[in-house]
């Protein structure tokens, strides 16, 4: 099977080319100044497609007859986990950004653009809005505001399945806590194959991260608004992109922060310790949600390359369950694997239920 995988990020587009059973991955970097020249994510479509076509040409695969094209899922309506055919309802909601703007919205649109020219199917796999949460986990503490499932679903599911294979047991028979540690941090409770509780890192829930605030004292935020210190739009940007480590240290580069801490910057050391502390607290909370029945804790994402972060978390959570470390992201592999499951007939592609669930979208 020849499969093309497309994974747009904030300042890059990752590409996976599977031919003759071999996978080749590449990253197309987009300078921040060029990305920031666009006012909306969908305005980047032609720009990113031009770079994608150029890469495929340079890689000598522009004329490959793909069996399927698969893209990263975006912020659409809440759906169950699975592989989704990119049809008109899904395409429309990706382009509208019905659940918010994010570079991930471009994944299915770009996949469809390539696939349509060849008359082959386009898919997305485990979009960030897959929703398997327990009803009790949705209750926020204020009527009219519901906790919502939005997380690094693609990578969390991929590493959870990998750890299950290592343990020699089906993913559907395990209880795992998976922490995706990147620019944003999400920690999910995977119970018997479903993510029954997870923090929404994009919208200000859970631990703070290099660029996101995580949960904040509500009264303190309201007081900032009352004083006119920020508009609501400015606060949304801070919560999602300019909070966390950046708000304290002026950098989202963990390596820089760690180097400063090693050189005697006590404030940098305290901020990093606080981030690790909050991650461990989130893991502990989900262990309680699973009634202590935890088969393993998995750390993944870019921050899992940091020995300081991993060891700091290990010291606080190793009493709960064995720790598995899978640094980096495995999204391209997960996209390819999802498409292969459908093409081989081991899994049926789902149809996106566009136009329903308006209130929760």
Query: 15, 70 in Cβ contact below 8 A?
Result: no
What tens digit of pLDDT does each residue of 307-355 get?
A: 999 999 999 999 999 999 999 989 999 999 999 999 999 999 999 997 5
* Strand pairing class (68-72; 3-8): parallel
Beta partners for residue 24, in sequence order: 17
Work out the burial of residue 227: count CB atoms within 10 Å of its CB; fewer than 13 is exposed, 13-18 middle, 19 or more buried: exposed
pLDDT at 32: 85
State which residues of the chain have pLDDT below 70. Answer: 355-361
Please report the domains of the chain, with CATH numbers, ordered by start residue.
Answer: 3-130+332-343 (3.30.420.40), 135-145+152-321 (3.30.420.40)
Report the C-alpha gap between 3 and 70 in whole angstroms: 7
* Number of C-beta neighbours around residue 334 at 10 A: 26
Structure tokens at 339: 């498409």
What is the pTM assigned to this prediction? 0.91
Strand order, beta sheet including 22-29: 22-29, 12-19, 3-8, 68-72, 122-125, 83-85
pLDDT at 10: 86
Query: 74, 106 in Cβ contact below 8 A?
Result: yes
Contacts of 243 (CB under 8 A, 6+ apart): 208, 211, 212, 213, 214
Q: At what angle do helices 266-289 and 254-262 cross, to 10 degrees?
A: 120
Q: Is the dihedral of CA 81, 90, 26, 30 positive or negative?
A: negative
Structure tokens at 150: 């939005």
Report the C-alpha gap between 331 and 159 in whole angstroms: 10
Report the C-alpha gap between 294 and 322 in whole angstroms: 9
Q: Please name which of 268, 104, 297, 87 lies closest in space to residue 190, comparing C-alpha atoms.
A: 297
């Amino acid at each position: 099977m020849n499969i093309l995988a497309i994974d747009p990020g904030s300042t890059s587009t990752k590409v996976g080319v599977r031919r003759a059973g071999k996978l080749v991955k590449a990253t197309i970097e987009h300078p921040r100044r060029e990305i920031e020249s666009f006012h909306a994510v969908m305005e980047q479509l032609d720009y990113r497609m031009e770079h994608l076509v150029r890469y495929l040409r340079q890689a000598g695969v522009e004329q490959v007859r793909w069996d399927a094209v698969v893209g990263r899922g975006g912020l659409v309506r809440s759906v169950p986990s699975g592989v989704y055919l990119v049809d008109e309802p899904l395409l429309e909601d990706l382009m509208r950004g019905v659940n918010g703007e994010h570079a991930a919205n471009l994944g299915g649109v770009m996949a469809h653009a390539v696939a349509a020219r060849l008359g082959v199917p386009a898919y997305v796999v485990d979009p960030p809005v897959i929703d398997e949460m327990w009803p009790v986990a949705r209750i926020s503490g204020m009527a009219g505001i519901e906790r919502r499932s939005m997380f690094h679903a693609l990578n969390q599911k991929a590493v959870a399945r990998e750890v299950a294979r290592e343990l020699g047991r089906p993913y559907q028979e395990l209880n795992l806590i998976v922490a995706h540690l990147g620019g944003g941090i999400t920690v999910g409770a995977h119970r018997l194959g479903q993510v029954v509780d997870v923090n929404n890192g994009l919208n200000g829930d859970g631990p703070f991260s290099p660029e996101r605030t995580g949960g904040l004292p509500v009264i303190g935020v309201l007081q900032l608004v009352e004083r006119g210190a920020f508009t609501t739009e400015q606060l949304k940007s801070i919560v999602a992109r300019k909070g966390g480590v950046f708000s304290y240290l002026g950098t989202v580069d963990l390596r820089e922060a760690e180097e400063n801490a090693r050189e005697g910057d006590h404030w940098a050391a305290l901020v990093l310790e606080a981030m690790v502390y909050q991650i461990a607290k989130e893991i502990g909370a989900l262990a309680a949600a699973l009634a202590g029945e935890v088969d393993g804790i998995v750390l993944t994402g870019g921050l899992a390359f940091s020995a300081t972060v991993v060891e700091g978390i290990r010291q606080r959570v190793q009493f709960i369950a064995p720790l598995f470390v899978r640094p980096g992201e495995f999204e391209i592999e997960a996209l390819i694997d999802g498409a292969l499951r459908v093409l081989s007939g081991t899994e049926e592609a789902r149809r996106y239920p566009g136009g329903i669930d308006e209130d929760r979208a």
